[in-house]
Structure 1
Amino acid sequence: MIRSGGFAAIAAALLVATPAAAQQADQKVLKGEAAFGDWHADRPGTRRLIGAQDMPPADPAQSASNGAGVAERPESAKPDLPPGFSAELIASGIVNPRVVRVAPNGDLFVANSHADQIRVYRLAEDSAKPIEKAIFAKGLSYPYGIAFYPPGDKPQWVYVANSDSIVRFPYRDGDLKASGKPETIVAEIPSGGHTTRDIAFSPDGKTLYLSVGSASNVGEDMEEPDDGLDAWVNSKPLGAAWGSEDGRADVLAFDPDGKNPRTVATGLRNCTGMTVQPATGALWCVVNERDELGDNVPFEFATAVKDGGFYGWPWYYIGNHEDPRHQGERPDLAGKATVPDVLMQAHSAPMNIAFYDGNNFPADYQGDAFVTMHGSWNRGARTGYKVVRLKFRDGKPTGEYEDFMTGLVISNDAVWGRPVGIAIAKDGSLIVTEDGNGTIWRVTHEDGRS
C-alpha cells in the first residue's frame, strides 16, 4: 500500500474542479475518439457518447499492464460530486466490500467477499451514521450477489451467490443475523476464473437470474468437444462455449427453488452486475469485456439482456468485430452478435448498476441508471475509478453517460477508491461501496426532489 503524508494536499488539489470547468463539461458531449481520454478529463457532468462505429482496430501490441497502486485515503478526501450533492462516510476499513443491496426496511446488506461474510448496516434516519451493524452470515465462499425473495415488502429469504453456489437464509423483516443455516439452492456453479456471481429476481418473482463470468480472458483453452463442434452447436444455445467455459460467460435462469435451469443469454464475458429496470421489468447487465487488444478495444458496456441473445464472446465483440485471436473459427456466428445498448470506455471495469427511483435526487435523475467503474489495468492511460450516470428517456437509454462521482484518483500511479457496489436507499440516497480502502458512502442532494 502506498502511503505519503503529501497525498492529502495532492488529493485536495485534484479533487476540486472549477465552476467554469464543470459548466463547460455539462454543455459538451465527448463523442468518438474524443471520449477515449483518461482520468484527467473526469469530473462531474462530463458526458460521453460512444457508438459501435467508433471502435478502433484491434492492436494487441498496444496492450499495457498498468494496474493502479492503492494509496491510503487522505483523511480529508471525499468523492467529487455535482453541485448540490454531498457524500458522507458510512464505514471504512472493511476487507473487500462489494455488492450492496437494500432490504425493504432500509437495512444495507453488503457482501464482504474476501471475509466470506454478509454485513448489515442500519442507519439513523437521514444520516450516514450506523445505529446498528452486524454480521448477517459468515462461512460463505466469496459471496457477491444478494437478493431478497419474494419481491415486495415482506421477503422470507435472503439469497446469496457464492462463487460456486447459490444459498438462501430464512429472513424476517429487520433480522440482523440469519436465523437458520443456509439452504443450497443451486450447487456446482463453475468456479475459478471470474468469481463475481450476481443474482436478481424477475418482478413477478418466478425467475432467479444468475450471471456466470468466463474462466479466461478469451477462451484460450476451449478444445473442440469430443462429439464434434457441429453436434455441440446444434444442441446448445446460440454462441454457447464449451470445455472449461461450458455454462460460463452466460446469464442463466432458475425457478426460485433452483430447479428448471436454462440459459437466457450467451457471450457475456463477465456480467459483474445485474438489476431489473423498474420502468420496464427488463434485466440489465454491466459487462467487463476482454483484454489485450489495445487501449481502446473493446468497449465495456451496459445492456438490457435479450432472451436468447448472443453478445459475441469469445469470437466477436461489440457486434460484428471479430477477435483476431479467433479469426475464422466461427463464421456461422458472423453478424449474429447483439450490439449492447450503452458503450463505455474500454477497460473501465463496470461492476454494478442501479436504476434511480428514489425521492431525494432532482427529478431529472428519475429513471436514469448509475454504474460503478472499478478502474483499468490493461490501459496505458488510466480510466474508470468513478461512478457514472447512464441517461434514459422514456425508459430507453440514450447511449450517453456522464461522470457523477469522481476524484478517487490521486495521480498517474495511485488511487484511493475503486467503486464496486451501488444501490438506492429507502430514503432516496445513493449508497456506494469501494474496495480500495474498504469504504461505504451515502450520497444525498441538499434540496431533495426538485
Structure 2
Amino acid sequence: MRARLVHLAFLAASLLIVLAGAFIAAGARAAPPIDQIKLPPGFSITVLSDDVPSARAMVLSPKGVLYAGSLDGHVYALELQNGHVRAKHVIASGLDEPAGVTFRDGALYVSAISRILRFDDIDDHLDAPPKPVVVTDKLPSDRHHGWKFIAFGPDGKLYVPTGAPCNICEPDRTRYALIARMNPDGSDYEVFAHGVRNTVGFDWNPQTKELWFTDNGRDMLGDDVPDDKLNRAPKAGMDFGYPYCHGGDVPDPQYGAGHPCSGFTPPVAKLGAHVASLGMRFYTGTMFPADYKNNVFIAEHGSWNRSTKVGYRVVRVVVGANGAKPRMEPFAQGWLRPSGDVWGRPADVLPMPDGSLLVSDDYAGAIYRITYAQP
C-alpha cells in the first residue's frame, strides 16, 4: 500500500511539473513590442490578437466577424466587439496555403493555390464549419508565387491573380503573371490584366471604381533595382510589362530586347526596391484626419535578399483619383529595428467600419488595430 501511495504521489508531482511547464511556456510567449511602432501624432496602435499564426489577408463579414487567411494551412475567425476579440475560431485547417479570403452573400471564399473554396453561411456556423464547396480547382498548382490574394470587384466578379512561377522567366502569359476574374461560381474565367509578376494586394478606388494593385519587382538586379509598383487598371486588357520591363522603366537584361518599356502601362507610383509591397486598401473611414480620405495604405512585408533590410512597415500613398501626383510617406514603422533585427512583417491592411485600420503580421502571428484621436 505504501509503495502504491508513493507511486501515486510521484505521478501527481510529475503532472504538476508538466502543467507548470506548460503554463510557463504559454506565459513566456512575449507580447509584440508595439511600443516600438512609430506613428504620426494622434495615432495609437494596440494588439487586437497575438494568436493568429502566419496571419495574411483579412476580410470582415457584415455581421462583424473578422476572417484571416494564413500560409500554415489554417483559416481563422475572430468575433469582434468594441474593438476587441470576443472569441476565436479555427474554421479550416490542412489547406494548401490559404492566404486569401473574401466574403460575399454570407459565404467566405478562400484561396488555396490551385483551388478556390467557399464556406457557406459561415458566420452562423463558426463552431461547426460546413464542408467547403469547391468553386474551382483549375488554377495552376505551382507553389512559387502560388498563394493568392482574392477579392470581389464592383462588377460582382471574383478577382484571382496567378503570379509568375519563378523570379524571372517567360511563362505562358495566358496562365501566369496575371490578374483574372470569374463569376462567383467559378464560371467564365477571363484574364483581366497581363504582365503582373506577383500581386498580393488590390482594391477598387472608391471614387472611380477602378482596380488598383501592388506588384512585386523581380530579384537579383541589385539592392536598388527594380521598384515594386502601385498600378492602376481602369479597364481590362492592359499589360504591365513582366517579364520584359520592371518598375515601369527598367528593361529586363534577359527578356527586354524588342519589348520597350514604352509599350506597357507605367505604374502610378514606384514603391521602392525589395520592400515587398503586399496588402493595400483605400481608406474610406472618418476616424482619421480628413486628408487621409481615399489615401492608399500599403503593407510592406520587407526585403529578404537585400544587403541592408528595407520595408517592414505600413506606408501611406496620397494620390489623385486618376493617379496624378502620388506622394508616399511612412505611416507605421518599427517592426525593423535600427540594429537590423526584425520582430514583425506587415502582410495586409484593412479599414474597419469604425474608421480604425487593422494590420496583419504573419511573422509575429498578430493583428494590430490603429486608431486616431485628436492630440
Same fold (TM over 0.5): yes
Bigger mean CA deviation after superposition, 178-187 or 90-99: 178-187
Matched residues in 2 for 1:444 and 1:353: separation? 18
> Is the Cα–Cα contact under 8 Å of residues 302 and 341 in structure 1 kept in the other structure?
yes
Q: 1:435 aligned to 345, 353, 362, which one?
A: 362
Structure ranking higher on relative contact order (CA contacts 8 Å, 6+ apart): 1
> Is the Cα–Cα contact under 8 Å of residues 72 and 437 in structure 1 kept in the other structure?
no
> Is the Cα–Cα contact under 8 Å of residues 385 and 418 in structure 1 kept in the other structure?
yes
Matched residues in 2 for 1:309 and 1:399: separation? 21
Give 1:333 shift.
5.9
Matched residues in 1 for 2:159 and 2:273: separation? 26
Q: 2:187 aligned to 246, 259, 280, which one?
A: 259
Q: 2:65 aligned to 107, 126, 133, which one?
A: 107
Give 1:334 shift.
5.5
1:182 aligns with 2:109: no
> Is the Cα–Cα contact under 8 Å of residues 208 and 321 in structure 2 kept in the other structure?
no
For structure 1, the residue ranges without an aligned partner over 5 or more in a row are 1-70, 150-154, 223-240
Matched residues in 2 for 1:171 and 1:177: separation? 12
> Is the Cα–Cα contact under 8 Å of residues 200 and 276 in structure 1 kept in the other structure?
no
> Is the Cα–Cα contact under 8 Å of residues 87 and 441 in structure 1 kept in the other structure?
yes
In structure 2, give the amino acid aligned to 1:131.
R
> Is the Cα–Cα contact under 8 Å of residues 65 and 123 in structure 2 kept in the other structure?
no
Task: Quickly say closer, same or farther: Cα 1:300–1:332, change in 2 above 3 A.
Answer: closer
In structure 2, give the amino acid aligned to 1:212.
T
Q: Which residue of 1 aligns with 2:255?
A: 326
- Determine helix, strand or coil for the equivalent of 2:200: strand
Q: 1:315 aligned to 227, 231, 244, which one?
A: 244
- Determine helix, strand or coil for the equivalent of 1:335: helix
Give 1:320 shift.
4.8
1:195 aligns with 2:139: no
Give 1:198 shift.
1.4
Q: 1:122 aligned to 64, 73, 79, which one?
A: 79
**Per-residue CA distance 1:348-396 (angstroms, 9 max, x = gap):** 0001001111121111111111000000123222210000011023564
1:296 aligns with 2:224: yes
Matched residues in 2 for 1:79 and 1:133: separation? 25
Matched residues in 2 for 1:386 and 1:97: separation? 16
Give 1:80 shift.
1.2
Q: Which residue of 1 aligns with 2:329?
A: 402
Q: Which residue of 2 aligns with 1:388?
A: 315
In structure 2, give the amino acid aligned to 1:91.
S
> Is the Cα–Cα contact under 8 Å of residues 342 and 397 in structure 1 kept in the other structure?
no
For structure 2, the residue ranges without an aligned partner over 5 or more in a row are 1-28
Matched residues in 2 for 1:182 and 1:74: separation? 33
Q: Which residue of 1 aligns with 2:109?
A: 159
5 Å-filtered alignment, 1:67-82, equals 75=33, 77-82=35-40
Matched residues in 1 for 2:163 and 2:34: separation? 37
1:420 aligns with 2:315: no
Give 1:297 shift.
0.7
Q: 1:369 aligned to 282, 296, 300, which one?
A: 296
Identity %: 32
Q: 2:282 aligned to 324, 349, 355, which one?
A: 355
**Per-residue CA distance 1:299-337 (angstroms, 9 max, x = gap):** 111111241111111121233532112253xx1566311
**Per-residue CA distance 1:44-75 (angstroms, 9 max, x = gap):** xxxxxxxxxxxxxxxxxxxxxxxxxxx97665
- Determine helix, strand or coil for the equivalent of 1:272: coil
**Per-residue CA distance 1:67-118 (angstroms, 9 max, x = gap):** xxxx97665634211100000111114321111111122221111321x121
In structure 2, give the amino acid aligned to 1:176.
L
Task: Quickly say closer, same or farther: Cα 1:411–1:74, change in 2 above 3 A.
Answer: farther
Q: Which residue of 2 aligns with 1:30?
A: none
Q: Which residue of 1 aligns with 2:16?
A: none
- Determine helix, strand or coil for the equivalent of 2:311: coil
Please, what TM-score do these two structures have when normalized by structure 1? 0.72
In structure 2, give the amino acid aligned to 1:211.
P
Q: Which residue of 1 aligns with 2:338?
A: 411
Matched residues in 1 for 2:302 and 2:247: separation? 20
Matched residues in 2 for 1:162 and 1:412: separation? 36
Give 1:430 shift.
0.3
Q: Which residue of 2 aligns with 1:141?
A: 96
Matched residues in 2 for 1:426 and 1:327: separation? 45
Matched residues in 1 for 2:208 and 2:51: separation? 38
> Is the Cα–Cα contact under 8 Å of residues 267 and 310 in structure 1 kept in the other structure?
yes
Give 1:444 shift.
0.3
Matched residues in 1 for 2:254 and 2:351: separation? 40
- Determine helix, strand or coil for the equivalent of 1:77: helix
Q: How many residue pairs get matched?
A: 345
Higher Cα radius of gyration? 2
> Is the Cα–Cα contact under 8 Å of residues 72 and 416 in structure 1 kept in the other structure?
no
1:218 aligns with 2:175: no
Task: Quickly say closer, same or farther: Cα 1:272–1:213, change in 2 above 3 A.
Answer: same
Task: Quickly say closer, same or farther: Cα 1:72–1:133, change in 2 above 3 A.
Answer: closer
Task: Quickly say closer, same or farther: Cα 1:176–1:338, change in 2 above 3 A.
Answer: same
Please, what TM-score do these two structures have when normalized by structure 2? 0.86
Give 1:294 shift.
1.1
**Per-residue CA distance 1:14-56 (angstroms, 9 max, x = gap):** xxxxxxxxxxxxxxxxxxxxxxxxxxxxxxxxxxxxxxxxxxx
Matched residues in 2 for 1:87 and 1:174: separation? 30
> Is the Cα–Cα contact under 8 Å of residues 133 and 176 in structure 1 kept in the other structure?
no
Matched residues in 2 for 1:320 and 1:89: separation? 40
Matched residues in 2 for 1:276 and 1:175: separation? 30
**Per-residue CA distance 1:128-165 (angstroms, 9 max, x = gap):** x311221223332111111111xxxxx23211111121
